[in-house]
Amino acid sequence: MIQTSTGLRYEDKVVGTGVGATVGKSVAIHYTCWLTGFGKDPVKIGETARSDPFWFTIGDKLVIQGWDEAVRGMKVGGIREVIIPPYLAYGAEGLGKKVPPNSELITEIELIIID
């Protein structure tokens, strides 16, 4: 597993093809996201439907910092497992009842489109 200077950890399960995703590019992803720290098994908190990918623009700060960083360099068709520390996710505030404060996230991201 690779660890970046920010503390994000990731492993490419599948390396895609073509050019890598960069700041300013819009990307479409499929994801599944889990919380850790609730016993032995992570708890799933969200995922996209295969027919409805999630779109965002890298660097626009409209998603959590961990996702923004995680997709950089990915290529279309790539699948990356990412461990996002709390300070790159929802931090000390959490996200309502869905994500408790200081939660680490595990996310599997599949990059579908770079636009």
Q: What is the pLDDT of residue 43?
A: 86
Residues 6+ apart with CB under 8 A from 57: 24, 25, 26, 27
**Which pLDDT value is given to residue 38?**
66
For domain 2-114, is the CATH number 3.40.50.1370? Answer: no
Digit-coded pLDDT (tens) for 75-100: 999 999 999 999 999 999 999 888 88
**What integer pLDDT is reported at residue 96 of this predicted model?**
87
- Alpha-helix residue ranges (DSSP H) falling in 24-81: 65-70
What gap in Å lies between CA 85 and CA 89, rounded to an integer?
A: 6
Domain boundaries defined on the chain: 2-114
pTM of the model: 0.90
For residues 81 and 36, the answer to whether their CB atoms sit within 8 Å is no
The predicted structure's pLDDT at residue 79: 98
15-55 residue pLDDT tens: 999 999 999 999 999 999 999 866 678 888 899 988 899 99
65, 88 Cβ separation under 8 angstroms: yes
